[in-house]
Every structure is written in C-alpha cells, then in structure tokens.
Chain A
C-alpha cells in the first residue's frame, strides 16, 4: 500500500516516467515480436545461406546482388506494376463510390457499412470466392455456357487479369474509406460558391473537389499500394504461378526453397520501396498542411 502511494507520488511529479510506464506493455510487445525478428532478418540477409534454411556466420552481399538477376528484377518490376495498376484501378473505381456515399444523406452509414462488409470474412476466403467465380467450371463460365453465349469455357484464370481482379476487389475499401472521409468534410457551399463564380462542373471538380480530397486520395493510394506490394495469396491462387509477385518470392524462399537469407534480402528490398512510398506521402501531407488544408 505504502509502496503504491510512494510510486504514485514519485511518478506524479515525473509525467515522462508515467508516459513510459503506460507505453511499456505495447512497446515491449513490438520490441520482442516485431523489431527483434526484423533485426534477425536484416542480419541474416547479409549472411551466407546454408541448406534447408540455415544461416552461416559471415558477411556477404551476394543475396542483394542476386536480386539483380533479370528473373528477380522482372518479378520486382511486375510487383510494382501490378501494385500501381491496382492502386490506379482502385482510385478510378473508388473515388466515384466515395463521392456518392459522401452525398448520400441518411444512407451514408448503411453504405459505409456495406463497403466495410467484406472485412468480415478473411482475405483468403474472398480470394477463393473469386476462384469459384472465374475458374473454368466457375459461375461465370457455367452461366455463359448454359445460356449458349460461348461453346467452351473462357480461360479467365489463372491469368494476370484474374490477379488484378483479386487485388482490386481485396483493397478497394481501403481506397474508398479515406477518400470518403475527406469528401465528407467538404463543405457543399464551397461548390456553390465556385458555381456562382463561374466554375463549370469540370472546373468545380478539378479546382475544388480534387485538391480538397487530395489527403484522402494519397492516404487511400498508400493503403492500397503498400499491401498490394506485399500480397502473395492473390497471385498464388489466381495467377497460378505465372504472375508471381515479390510476396510469392519471399514466401517461397522461407518455405519451399529454404533460403532464409535471400528471402530476408528480398523482404528488405520491398520494405525500402514501401518506405519510399511513405516518404512521398509524408512530404505531400506536409505540403497540404502548410496550405492550411
């Protein structure tokens, strides 16, 4: 009892100590299960690999060098390309949805609920559902065959297109929600003011709506781009090994290929790209804040 009182009295005069005490459990968790494994991975990415996932003591940059093999560069390039395409498609499809929801009055909450609904099932289950739609004996082909529109099943998957369908449907809500939240804050009288001042619909979009929703667009693009870079389930299930992304490469190095150091090195290459994307985001945000938006 006295000890507790003494602690309260002592820490009460030291707010920093209190703050650290409050953060300690979470910080310890992250330290132990995130930062430490990350350091192990970083270390092993510079160590020679042994068979079956082992690591030898030593220093080498061969795993990073190996990355410049056209095979891996091609996977890296494809990953960036797919992620960018996925982000662009999510933006094109998500912006109008977000705009409509932000003007939907009393329907807003229901519509936002519907956007979030897919999160109630796991990503893998949703990807399997797309397989059931798109495979040769899937819903789409069965229906088209039944009504006689086609004679033999369309080769919808495995394909790059199927991967894109999977990525976009998986990440679209991440684009819609932040854009919705920035459009929702947009005062409708700004658009009326612009209209009285002579702005046609297209100008109202480019001069008012777009700049004021830019924080949401940037946040949404990052929220789609980053997980798209790291995704592997989609390319695995819908790409059939022909549209491998970085995630697949990393996963395989840690599992079947058993080359942990190379898997680690690949992870860090990917992480460097994610950090670059975040850096772009922060710069953009600072600029937006400087404008007082």
Chain B
C-alpha cells in the first residue's frame, strides 16, 4: 500500500474561542483531484491553510502529514507544495516572467534553466511567453492572471498543488474552460490537487473525491456520486443539489421523526387515477410549475402539508405542455430505494 500524499489525523484548530477545525481526518492519494467543499465559514480555508503551513494545529490537535511525514511545525517553504491563491496574489512589481521565475530563483536554479522552465510553464497554461512574458500583472485580464498564478505554481514541479477558490473571480464561460484545463493538467501531470471551493457544481464535475465541510467538521467524504446520491446529513443533501425531505412516517418506510432525502428527479408525478406501479404513491396537489429551460420543476403539497419538488426533463412545452395546472390533484410517486435515510447532525 502506498503512502498517501496528504493525511489529516484528527486535526483541530482553534482561534481564540472559535473552533475553526474539529477532528478533521482524511487522506488523499497520489494524483487525486480532491475538493474541499462548503459554505463560507465552514472551515475549508482553515483546512487548506493547515495543509499549506500558514496555520499550525492546536497543541495535541492531531497530525498533518505530507508524504507520510508529520509536518505540523514545518514552514510552508519546507513542505514542497505549490499553491494558487484566491486573488492570484501575483507580485505587482514583477513582470509575468519574473513572477513565474520567483520560486526557481529562491531555489537557486541556474539562470539558463530558469528561462527554459518559465517558458515551458507559460506554454503549459497556454500563455505565449513572447507576448506576455514582459507584461506587468496589472496589464492582464482576470483569466490571464489566473494562468500566470498557475504557471508560477506548476513551474516548481510540485507533487502537491493547493488551489484556494481559484476560479471565483472569473465569469461563467471562462470558469468552465479553466475547470476543464485544471482537470486535464491534473491527469496529464499526475499532480495531486487539493481544491477548495464553495461551488458544488464545480466540485461535482472536477473531483475524484469531495470532503463536504460544515461547521468546522467534515460532514461527508466520498466520490461525487456517493455525495450526491447518498448524502449522509440534511446539510449535505441541501448543499449539494436540491433535495426533498420526507418524514419516515409520511413516506411509509419507518418511524416518525426520521428524515429521508429524495432527489427531485427521482420523484414522478402521476395522474390521480393511475394504477398501482410498485412505487410508493402519495396523493398531492400541484402548487406551481417552474420552467427552468432543460428541466421542469413542479412543486406539489402532500395532504399532510409536506412540500415536494419533482424535476423532469423538458420535453418541449410548446409542442406538448405538461398537464399540471396549479391546484390539480396528482400522485407523487417514488421508489423507496431512492429514499436516503439521513443521520442527525452533530451539535
């Protein structure tokens, strides 16, 4: 068994009276694209900073290991990792070339080799060295700065690359493009990526595994399908995608007081007089139909007051509109296999 690139063992971090990380444990394998996902203030940035070495775990607050070695007290420059910062953190007084060369110069790499490696790194992020090399960061667009920040990190040939919400400042189209490029760099170079984001879609599309964080804890750790299809807590179900919440008694599968999650696309709406289908069928009334382009969301209310959303593919509303009108009666139908029993959240 190979040694994980990163390992957190029961890591705790406290700022004054504020617990910023509670018993964080996970390990990341070589070459993995690992995302830390959560809303702002959930502890994801603290976790990344603990890994980078800007913060130290509490005394007796667990271990941070890189390549098997405990690095709790190591300074960032002793950890042989690279990082892309949220606002790029490019040095404004240095040209693009000098920014990229900064790390190599600190390592006393020979000048000739620095020039070659800087060019190669800029090529790798698809920035033409002759056009952009001598420019100041202030003269670049957001997307170009992002690429320079990436080149500055990759030029050091790290085995571990940390990215702190690197695409947050870019517009949607550019963000999609960079998502694809980051993922392909991760695959091509075999570098382990640790990617912090609050964007659930970004995490789902790019990651091999995701750690969902809430309230300074890892709420769930798993592959994107595991996280989406088997959310462990109501927080995870709500934060990643949309979810319906049903009481066990209402769904007819268990005790009252136990909550079950059901994804909107797993809920069908049937005509009130439909025959039994092997699925659970609950009488409901249509509350609203929301047109979302590729999807239709129909909000219904069960007779006990529970509100549910059913999502279905839009088959063309102009040609054959769905029969659901506001106030119409229907049956909300689902397979009990698609229900996910949720655990109570830790206080």
Contact = CB atoms under 8 A, between A and B. Distances in A.
Contacts of A96: none
A293 B137 CA distance: 10
Interface stretch (B87-95, B213-221, B254-262): B87-95
Interface in A184-204: 187, 189-190, 192-200, 203
Contacts of B86: 189
Nearest to B108: A198
A187 B89 contact: yes
B106 interface: yes
B93 to A, nearest CB: 5
B107 interface: yes
Interface in A38-90: none
23 contacts: A187-B87, A187-B89, A189-B85, A190-B91, A193-B91, A193-B152, A194-B91, A194-B102, A195-B76, A196-B76, A196-B77, A196-B82, A197-B82, A197-B102, A198-B106, A198-B107, A198-B156, A200-B77, A208-B91, A211-B93, A292-B92, A293-B92, A293-B93
Q: Chain A interface residue count: which class?
A: 20 to 34
Contacts of B126: none
A192 B106 CA distance: 14
Interface string B95-107: 0000000110011
A292 B95 CA distance: 9
A208 B138 CA distance: 16
Contacts of A207: 102
A66 to B, nearest CB: 47
Nearest to B162: A196
Interface string B135-150: 0111100000000000
Contacts of B92: 190, 212, 292-293
B93 A212 contact: yes
Nearest to B137: A292
A16 interface: no
A187 B90 CA distance: 10
A19 interface: no
Nearest to B95: A291
A120 B151 CA distance: 52
Nearest to A211: B93
Contacts of A192: 52, 54, 76, 85, 89
A193 B83 contact: yes
A196 B83 CA distance: 7
Contacts of A292: 92-93, 136-139
Contacts of A187: 87, 89
Given A189-B85, A189-B87, A292-B137, A196 B93 contact: no
A190 B99 CA distance: 11
The 9 closest A-B pairs by CB, nearest first: A292-B136, A198-B106, A197-B103, A292-B138, A193-B89, A189-B89, A198-B77, A293-B93, A196-B76
Contacts of A203: 106
A212 B106 CA distance: 19
Contact of A195 (B75, B136, B137): B75
Interface of A: 187, 189-190, 192-200, 203, 207-208, 211-212, 291-293
Interface of B: 52, 54, 75-77, 81-83, 85-87, 89-93, 102-103, 106-107, 136-139, 152, 156
A207 B139 CA distance: 21
Given A198-B107, A203-B106, 15 more contacts: A189-B89, A192-B54, A193-B83, A193-B89, A193-B91, A195-B76, A196-B52, A196-B81, A197-B102, A197-B106, A197-B152, A212-B92, A291-B136, A292-B139, A293-B92
A195 B89 contact: no
Nearest to A198: B106
A105 to B, nearest CB: 13
Contacts of B83: 193, 196
Contact of B89 (A190, A291, A293): A190
A196 B93 CA distance: 18
A211 to B, nearest CB: 5
A208 B87 CA distance: 17
Contact of A198 (B54, B85, B103, B137): B103
A194 to B, nearest CB: 7
A94 B83 CA distance: 33
A195 B86 CA distance: 16
Contacts of A198: 77, 103, 106-107, 156
A196 B78 CA distance: 8
Contacts of A211: 93
Contacts of B91: 190, 193-194, 208
B109 to A, nearest CB: 11
Contacts of B75: 195
A190 B137 CA distance: 13
Contacts of B85: 189, 192-193
A212 B83 CA distance: 22
B80 to A, nearest CB: 9
B217 to A, nearest CB: 25
Nearest to B92: A293
A197 B136 CA distance: 19
Nearest to A186: B92
Contacts of A196: 52, 76-77, 81-83
